[in-house]
Structure 1
Amino acid sequence: MDRRLAWVLAAAVGGLAGGLSYTVGAPDPSLTAGVVLSYGAVVVLSARHPDTVYQEGVGRVGFRYGFWSAAATAFLLLVALLGVGPWVPVDAGLRVSLGLFVLGAGYAMWLFGVSYARAKGDGGA
């Protein structure tokens, strides 16, 4: 994907997630900025490493890749849904914003780890 398009998509997706967090969730500027940055990073890193999202031309994903991808997704969902569950004594809007933030930040950190491992494997780090 073209770098410019990736940055435009990152701004659009980050802005959409931040707008959702601000209007539906908690109207807190610092939390909204965290949501915007995390979802923007997810889009940019996914564009840089598209095989973390899909594998083009491959009929079946290998077990190791599929297992770790599924484990990371399951862990992020578990943390976001249970960590900020309905039993936590916070406002429902703040719960939505924190859930969005945890999902975006967790997925972005997973992609940063993929980027680091690949750079280190290439002798870049």
Structure 2
Amino acid sequence: MAALLPASWANAQVITKEQQQKVEKKALGGGKGTVDAAFAFTRDKAKPDQAIKELSWLTIKPGDSIGYHKHKDNEDAYIIVSGTGTFKDTDGNDYPVKAGDITIVRKGESHGLTNSGKEPLVIVDVIAAQQ
């Protein structure tokens, strides 16, 4: 497997589809089923002074979910690329989401996401820490 981030990329970066690390995540965040992930980079590769800690494509199969979980030390944004789902916010409220929608949870808040549609739910997941 190729390195996720070549050492020569100190600032602006392009992480091609082929360079992304493909992983199956079972019960992600305590959720149901398996989420297919393609990571541009992961938390263990982020430097302390970098706000974005993790960046990935996630594909959630119909009926599967990212479990309801709390973000103690970071923030998390989901950019809905395709499909439909149900987003649960920190107060336990459910909201329908579709392509073009963006969700965000701040440090100390909780959230979850379920694919409530009939097609795969594809999102871009951005995890960031406050500086």
TM-score by length of 2: 0.26
| Larger radius of gyration between Structure 1 and Structure 2 | 1
Q: TM-score, normalised by structure 1?
A: 0.27
More strand by share: 2
The structure, 1 or 2, with the larger RCO (C-alpha pairs under 8 Å, 6+ apart) is 1
